[in-house]
Amino acid sequence: MTSAQAHRRLVLWDIDHTLIDGGGVSREAYAAAFSRVTGQPLRKMADMSGRTELAISTDTLRLHGLTPDPAMVERFTAAVAEELHAREEALASAGRPLPGARAAISALSSIAGTHQSLLTGNMRSLAELKMRVFGLAEHIDFEAGAYGDDDVERPALLAHAWRRARSRHCHRYTGRDTVIIGDTVLDVATAKAGGARSIAVATGTTSVAELAASGADVVLPDLTDTAALVAAVGGGDHPASASVTP
């Protein structure tokens, strides 16, 4: 068995508020899509933090007294994708990669046996758009990830990622060789549900204390300490307790 085979690891990144700040352009796309599909203005958005596009779209329709049947949700999400793609220049202008994001992805790409993909609430087409716009796509295997149009609930996405990663890399990944990196308690819950290692970064709206209380294995304030991130990814399969890096 080679070193790479002995130390296989699948790293699954969240996108929004973990790797990038989208500058509010996604909300603009949702508003335009909602108006197109329903003929009425968007008055209220469902909670977006850590949730899938399917869940956000479904609940947003309900908030306006509409029945989110599968056909309506499909039209709405398709319109959201079209509207955000049409705003690519605005996204590039208003948004930004978060500090340390590029360096973190690059550093992990040099570790033998480590494969990086995504576990994100974004639909795949939007995940690819955002990663490409902000120069983060080079070391990401999009074919091995899971996306917000795969399932409604975020914890269910992990099985999709494992199935695709196995097909890509001829290895049956489990929680023991999977790391999920994100900024919300839902990212942590997804990791815990699958027995995966969780690294939480307090770059969104959830504090270091809240992320630690949710059961994250490691909590980082951001991604600027590349060495700390790399150490956290390789820190073991089932650590005894969470650690917080100030």
Q: Can you tell me the distance from the alpha carbon of 116 to that of 103, in angstroms, rounded to the nearest whole number?
A: 13
The pLDDT, as a whole number, for residue 235 is: 66
Distance (Å, rounded) from C-alpha 218 to C-alpha 220? 7
pLDDT at 241: 36
Low-confidence residues of the chain: pLDDT under 70:
1-6, 235-246
pLDDT at 239: 38
Helices and strands: H and E segment counts in the chain = 11, 8
Residue 243 vs residues 101, 211, 235: alpha-carbon distances, Å: 21, 11, 11
Phi and psi (nearest 5°) for 118? -125, 145
Burial of 220 (0-12, 13-18, 19+ CB in 10 A): buried
The Cα 217–Cα 126 span in angstroms is 29
DSSP state of 45: P
> Alpha-carbon torsion 3, 227, 106, 210, what sign?
positive
The one-letter amino acid code at 148 reads: G
pLDDT tens per residue, range 86-126? 999 999 999 999 999 999 999 999 999 999 999 999 999 99
- The model carries a pTM of 0.92
CA angle, 19 then 22 then 26, to 5°: 130
Cα 18 to Cα 31, 32, 66, 200, 214, distances in angstroms: 23, 25, 32, 9, 17
Let me know: does 133 contact 107? Beta carbons within 8 Å: no
pLDDT of 154 reads 95
How far apart, in Å, do the first and last CA atoms of the chain sit?
Answer: 38
Question: What tokens does 65 get?
Answer: 């007294």
